Amino acid sequence: MGTGPTEREIPISRPVPTVSRKPPGRRMSSTKVRIGMISALSLTVAACGSNDDVTAYCVDQNSYQADGSYQVIDDDYCDDDNYHGSHGGYFWYYGGSHRGSRIYKGTTVKPKNAHITTTSGKTVQRGGFGSRSSSGG
């Protein structure tokens, strides 16, 4: 019973643990663990470390290309203090890697409640999830 308190002498309730109902003599581990894309991703993430600053780029949504990149534009387009026009189509894009004046594999985050009007003219709201830290348990 280990080192914990003594069990009281009260009849236990159902269901009680049973002996294994599985075939005897079976192997308990995977016969093969194939890993593909996470290997490359892992090496990238490991190399990044935890203390890198993340750069925010102002990008033009209309410049999005099939390769996943955006055109970086002047920060004024995204800056609330300096830019007084419509924010439609311009947003901050965090992190990512540069190739020329285009930015790849970053992420949009925040501001909460931001409305981004898309090329199709419909309204998509982003930033409605998030803003907390570790979520695993």
Partner 1 sequence: MRREKSTPRAGWEQKIEAQGLAYHRTSHPEHLTRPYWDESVHYTFTMDEVLAIEADVETLHQMCLEAVEHVITTGRYQDFGVPPWVAPSIEASWRRRDPHLFGRFDLRYDGTGPAKMLEYNADTPTSLVETSIIQWYWKEDVYPDDDQWNSLHERLVEGWRHVAARAPSGPVHFTWTNEDESGEEVMTIAYLQETAGQAGLDGLAIAVEDIGWHYGLNRFVDLDERVMSTVCKLYPWEWAVADLFGKNVIDALPTMTWVEPIWKMLLSNKALLAVLWELYPNHPNLLPAYLRTPGPLLSYIQKPLLGREGASMQIVTPSGTQATHGQYGAEGFVYQEFWPLPEFDGQRPVLGAWMVEDEAAGLGIRETTGLITDDTSSFVPHRIVTT
The residues that touch partner 1, with contacts defined as CB under 8 A, are: 1-5, 7-8, 10-22, 27-39, 41-46, 48-50, 107-110, 112-113, 116, 118, 120, 122-137
Distance from C-alpha of 115 to C-alpha of 58, rounded to nearest angstrom: 16
Residue (26 or 84) nearer to partner 1, CB: 26
Least CB distance to partner 1 at residue 45 (A): 4
Find the distance separating the first CA and the last CA of the chain, reported in whole Å: 28
Least CB distance to partner 1 at residue 130 (A): 4
Residue (84 or 124) nearer to partner 1, CB: 124
Distance from C-alpha of 131 to C-alpha of 137, rounded to nearest angstrom: 17
Least CB distance to partner 1 at residue 27 (A): 6
Least CB distance to partner 1 at residue 84 (A): 25
Distance from C-alpha of 54 to C-alpha of 96, rounded to nearest angstrom: 8
Q: Which conformational region is residue 28 in: left (phi greater than 0), alpha (psi within -120 to 50 degrees), or beta?
A: alpha
Distance from C-alpha of 73 to C-alpha of 32, rounded to nearest angstrom: 48
Q: Compute, in degrees rounded to 10, the torsion defined by CA atoms 12, 15, 19, 23.
A: 180
Residue (30 or 86) nearer to partner 1, CB: 30
Residue (55 or 82) nearer to partner 1, CB: 55
